[in-house]
Each structure stands twice: as C-alpha cells, then as structure tokens.
C-alpha cells in the first residue's frame, strides 16, 4: 500500500486490513540490529516466539540473525525516509501487523563541546533524534489502523543524567525523553504506548564502532582532561552489564499489559535514577566527578 503515511484520516479502510493475511505471531521491528543491544534484542524476541524484523544500514554481512527462522534482516537507514517507508510497507504487506517498534539505532558523540564541529553535532541529532522520529512517524499509520501498538525508544540514563564530554549525546537523549513522554499522551487514544528504556553502563561497542570521538589535539587545553575522563569510561564499559540484560527488559516491556513510561535497566541504572530523584544537584555532580575522574 503506497504512501500510506500521506493519507488523511484512518489510514486503511477496514476491508483493506481484513484482506491482509495477518500473522499469527506478534511482529516487532528493531532498528540498529547489527550489534550490541539491538542484536541481543532481536535474538530475545525471536526466542520469545515473535516474528522479528531486524534492520540495519548494511545487512549484507549479517550471518547470525539470518540463521534464526523467525528473523528477517532488512536494510534501513534511519536518516533515509525512503528506506524507512520501504521496510514498513514490506512488513505490513507480508505480516499484516506491526505490534512493536524498537527504536534502538544511535551512537555516542564524545568530546568537548567547544572543539566539536557543528557538522558532527548535526549528524548526532539526525541519527539519535530525527532518525528516531522518522521511523516512529512511519510506523504510526499502521499502528493506528490496527488500533494497537507499542513504540519502545532506547534512551539512556544519559537522558536524565549528564556526564562529562557527552554534551551533544546527552542533548539527544534528553530530547528523546521529552519526545516520548509527550507522544505517549497523543497515542493512548489509539491504543498505542510510547515507552522509554534507560540502560546504564552496558558492555557494548559504545566506545568502539558505535562512537564518534572528537579527541582534542595535542596542545588543546582540554586534552589532559579528555584523556583522564576517557580512561575512566573505558574501565566502566568493561564492567558494564551484558546487552542481553537490556534485551530481556525490552521484551518484558513489549509483553506487559501496562508498562511504565520509564524503565531504567542494567549497569546500576535503577540505583542512579533513584538517587537522581532524591539527591540535590551538588551531590549528584560530586558523585559524577568522582566516578569519571573529572
């Protein structure tokens, strides 16, 4: 069904929905499934009996997920509207339902703000915020047509707590938090929930291929500070929770009748978010400085 997102009112006539061969399995679409939390989430949903559509920018090299019978691997770039629309049209035509969308695609831009280029910051927002919004916008007409659905946005404790050298990344995650909270009100009348997952320190490639690091040059007044803080992050990432801990929580939230809006998970997230509620800013800042050697 072409250009469904441009149609006015109810996106599909009831007869159109009935004409589809609706899958007996619940269907989940996951972005950023090539590694880390995204890949673990695809595996966890498949194990729970869901039909999984695992998307990524470059799926040609993905072998593990293709071995799972109820997983489809499709190309999707969250910054490319046509690739997004193609995936959802394909999923709807094949399965006749989209129960859950997991917006996981994203990366972390690290570096002192003053020395980070406007182009790098714009790219961070294009992926982490506008990309997430693009995918959500594409999914909603289908969910409204079926009168149910769940949007699960992968945020971070960094959406409620800032740490050094991640000002641009935190700006995107704070944006995702506000977007999701507001969206949840708008979608409730259609039987759709918008939910946040807030991982803590997780052992993924966040400091590897999932990172864009604006390292200060020699002679920069930020260089010694950067080196000291970066070393603390490397140590913390090695001791983080496994991605499958987050994946388990995502599946749980997708299957829970009345999930919470915010769901901190793994890497001390529950403790940190509880502390954030009760401690004054000065105490939180002191704790962060101690942990990051900042």
Helix (H) or strand (E) holding 46: helix 36-47
Q: Residue 129 gets which letter from DSSP?
A: I
Q: Is 173 among the catalytic positions?
A: yes
Give the C-alpha separation, 11 to 93, whole Å. 14
Q: Copy the structure tokens of residue 265.
A: 């998970």
Give the C-alpha separation, 174 to 114, whole Å. 20
Give the C-alpha separation, 91 to 25, whole Å. 13
Q: Is 155 among the catalytic positions?
A: yes
Domain range annotation of the chain: 22-292
Can you give the pLDDT of all 294 residues of the chain as single tens digits? 444 544 433 343 333 343 355 678 999 999 999 999 999 999 999 999 999 999 999 999 899 999 999 999 999 999 999 999 999 999 999 999 999 999 999 999 999 999 999 999 999 999 999 999 999 999 999 999 999 999 999 999 999 999 999 999 999 999 999 999 999 999 999 999 999 999 988 876 555 556 789 899 999 999 999 999 998 888 776 767 899 999 999 999 999 999 999 999 987 888 888 888 888 988 888 888 887 876
- Catalytic residue selected from 173, 222, 248, 249: 173
Q: 268-274 contacts: CB < 8 A, separation 24 or more?
A: 268/200, 268/201, 269/157, 269/198, 269/199, 269/200, 270/200, 272/157, 272/161, 272/200, 273/157, 273/160, 273/161, 273/198
* CATH code assigned to 22-292: 3.40.50.720
- Catalytic residue selected from 155, 156, 168, 210: 155
- Catalytic residue selected from 169, 230, 248, 249: 169
């Amino acid at each position: 069904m072409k250009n469904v997102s441009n149609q006015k009112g109810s996106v599909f006539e009831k007869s159109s929905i009935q004409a589809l061969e609706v899958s007996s399995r619940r269907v989940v679409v996951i972005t950023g499934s090539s590694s880390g939390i995204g890949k673990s989430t695809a595996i966890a949903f498949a194990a729970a009996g869901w039909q999984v559509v695992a998307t990524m920018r470059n799926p040609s090299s993905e072998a593990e997920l293709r071995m799972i019978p109820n997983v489809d691997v499709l190309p999707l770039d969250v910054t490319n509207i046509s690739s997004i629309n193609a995936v959802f049209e394909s999923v709807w035509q094949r399965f006749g339902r989209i129960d859950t969308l997991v917006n996981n695609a994203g990366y972390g831009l690290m570096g002192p703000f003053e020395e980070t280029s406007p182009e790098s910051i714009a790219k961070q927002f294009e992926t982490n915020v506008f990309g997430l919004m693009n995918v959500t916008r594409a999914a909603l007409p289908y969910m409204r047509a079926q009168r149910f659905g769940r949007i699960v946005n992968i945020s971070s404790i960094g959406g409620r707590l800032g740490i050094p050298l991640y000002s641009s990344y935190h700006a995107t995650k704070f944006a995702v938090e506000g977007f999701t909270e507001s969206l949840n009100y708008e979608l409730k009348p259609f039987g759709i929930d918008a939910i946040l997952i807030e991982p803590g320190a997780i052992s993924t490639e966040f400091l590897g291929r999932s990172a864009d690091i604006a390292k200060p040059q020699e002679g920069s007044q930020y260089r010694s500070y950067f080196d000291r803080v970066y070393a603390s992050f490397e140590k913390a990432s090695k001791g983080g929770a496994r991605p499958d801990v987050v994946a388990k929580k995502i599946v749980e939230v997708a299957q829970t009748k009345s999930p919470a809006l915010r769901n901190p998970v793994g890497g001390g997230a529950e403790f940190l978010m509880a502390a954030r509620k009760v401690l004054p800013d000065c105490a939180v800042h002191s704790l962060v400085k101690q942990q990051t050697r900042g």
